[in-house]
Structure 1
Amino acid sequence: MPISRRDALRYATAASAMAGLGAATGAFAPPAAAAGSTLIDFAMRQIPAQDIRAAGHAGVINYVSTSRPGSSFGAKPITLPYARSLAAAGLAIVSNFQYGKPGGTAPSDFTRGFPGGVADARTAWQLHTAAGGGQSAPIYFSVDDDVDRETWNNVVLPWFRGINSVIGELRTGIYGGIRACQWAVADGVIGRSSTPGRVWAWQTRSWSGGQIYPGAVLYQRIIDTASNPGPVVGGIRVDVNDVLAADVGQWSLHP
């Protein structure tokens, strides 16, 4: 897909900043070594930055959404003081929105169509900026279900169009299985990383048949469940995500 001169300049600036970040903090190495880095995601409570570093992770994917009715997750949403503590420790921060879920006390966000996408994007952007998130940083929106093409076309896609109408495609990302990531790219509802060939796709191992989408920037390799617990960091179990690109949408690259 062609890019504008403005985008080309922004991507070149981001690449330069990426090199500086890797040298200064060690949070991300240059692209050749980026695949060895990991980010964790979690909702139960805020994990101290020193515990994340001690566990060997490069940063977090944290929520810019609130808790569902009947729940009270301490890490939803990310707060400005917590974000500052992570940044001070040289940890990367990436934004994700998920309020509802299948079988939860609120339905999956993507079932709410275009108007739901508008509302979710407004909420996500407000919480993202309140916590210090970068003005050009993407927000990943969750498709936490095994959707088929018909559901994508008739239900999920209108939701993403609503999101795009608020924050634009360049700042929109997707969390989902491999097919959802591919469809998001084909329909032009997510943006591109400054890493060549990569897009704002955070792919989960679920519903992916052991395949990794070549354009993904993040891959959720370990998913914490009751039957397959994730590793413990700071006293709670977490999901672990492989970093597949130098630019995964971390705030420090997208001021």
Structure 2
Amino acid sequence: MESLWPRNQNNATPVTSNTLSTSHGSSFPKLVQLQRPSYTNQNHHNHSNAHAQPSVHMLKYSFTFWYMNRTFGSKIKDYESSLKKLMTFSSVEEFWSIYAYLKRPDTLPVISDFHLFKEGIKPIFEDSANQNGGKWTIRLRKGVAVRYWEQLVMAIVGDQFWNIGDELCGAVLSIRNSEDLISVWNKSSDNGRVNLKIRDFIKQVLNLPPDTILEYRGHKDSLIDTYNHHTSDKSPHPYEKNKYN
């Protein structure tokens, strides 16, 4: 598990009152441009620059990366306790100091999940922010999830979800044996208008083929299925016919 953590945690840009900046615009341009933490040039031989502050670009929301893995054929009795919290970040620089050193999804073992959620929201159905929500899910053939996941992460962290960013809770990449899945979680499963906007955004930001199927499922329905099948040796198919298609 430790190998998932960034190796240079001590180099993450600190967020302090001196470096805090406010911006109501999108963070996406800076997110793309700053592929590694960017610092103000400091000349340690020049006393006037000795205490220069790092250049920090604050994000609209703070986020946390989570990870879960289970061995093939095993069951997880307590999903929440199996989640591993990796790191929380609040700026572009902090994001890259973490993301650049996380394992690539295509190197993870089968039945692994990467989660990216807003700080304070756990990637579980029972969290208060998720209880009345649901998720859009895309099923992907093996080998393409890495690119789509990175594009989605950039868009979420960079606040590219138009005017519906407050509705988003997070996203999940699920590595499985024969396919991979990407899910985007939101707060309100009964808000069809907003849910369709989220679906359309996912299609646009990932540049998905026109015939790509996205399936929507409310968390309450998923919890009912989990309860009804909790003694089954084989997990049920977690998605039913999408009510928005």
Bigger helix share? 1
TM-score, normalised on structure 1? Answer: 0.27
Structure whose residues are more often strand by fraction: 2
For normalisation by structure 2, the TM-score amounts to 0.28
